[in-house]
Amino acid sequence: MYKIIRNVIESKEYKLEDILYKIDKMYIQDRITEKEKTELDSLARDNAQAENSYSIQKQLNNIFERLEVLETKDKPTEPTEPTEEYPEYKQPAGAHDSYKTGDKITYKNKKYICKTDNCVWSPEIYPQGWEEVVEEEAE
The secondary structure element, H or E, covering residue 11 is helix 2-11
- Quick: pLDDT tens for 101-120: 999 999 999 999 999 998 99
Q: List the 130-133 sheet strands across, edge first.
A: 104-107, 110-114, 130-133
Residue 73, helix vs strand vs coil: coil
The CATH homologous superfamily for domain 56-75+82-133 is: Carbohydrate-binding module superfamily 5/12 (2.10.10.20)
- Quick: pLDDT tens for 46-92: 998 877 776 665 666 777 788 887 777 766 666 566 667 899 999 98
HSE-up (13 A, CA, CB side) for residue 74: 1
By C-alpha distance, which of 121, 131, 132 is closest to 45? 121
pLDDT at site 59 = 65
Q: Where are the domains of the chain?
A: 2-48, 56-75+82-133
